[in-house]
Amino acid sequence: MDQIQHKYVDINGLKLHVAEIGTGDKVVLFLHGFPEIWYSWRYQMIAAAKAGYRTIAIDFRGYGESEIPAEPEKATFKDFVDDVVGILDFLQIPKVFIVGKDFGAQVVYTLAILHPERVLGVVTLGIPFIPAALVGQLYSALPQGFYIMRWMFPGRAEADFGRFDVKTVIKKIYILFSGSTVPIAEENQEIMDLIDSAAPLPSWFKEEDLSAYATLYEKSGFSTPLTVPYRSRPADLGEVAEHVSAPTLLIMGGSDYFYKFPGMEEYLTSGAVKHFVPNCDVTVVEEGSHFVQEQFPDLVNEHIISFLGKH
Is 115 marked active-site?
no
The separation between the first and the last C-alpha atoms of the chain, rounded to the nearest angstrom, is 27
Catalytic residue among 59, 79, 83, 102: 102
- Reduce the secondary structure of 28-56 to three states and give it as a string: EEEECCCCCCHHHHHHHHHHHHHCCCEEE
Catalytic residue among 174, 230, 257, 267: 230
CA–CA–CA angle 304, 109, 94 (5° rounding): 75
Measured CA to CA, the distance from residue 42 to residue 1 in angstroms comes to 7
Strand order in 248-253's β-sheet? 5-11, 14-21, 54-58, 27-31, 96-101, 119-125, 248-253, 280-285
Measured CA to CA, the distance from residue 209 to residue 205 in angstroms comes to 6
Is 230 marked active-site?
yes
Catalytic residue among 17, 32, 290, 303: 290
Measured CA to CA, the distance from residue 111 to residue 97 in angstroms comes to 11
Measured CA to CA, the distance from residue 18 to residue 87 in angstroms comes to 9
Is 17 marked active-site?
no
Q: 3-state class of 112 per DSSP? A: helix
- Asked if 252 and 288 touch (Cβ cutoff 8 Å), the reply is yes
DSSP 154-213: TTHHHHHHTTS-HHHHHHHHHHHHTSSS--B--TT--GGGGS-TTPPPPTTS-HHHHHHH
Catalytic (active-site) positions: 102, 230, 290
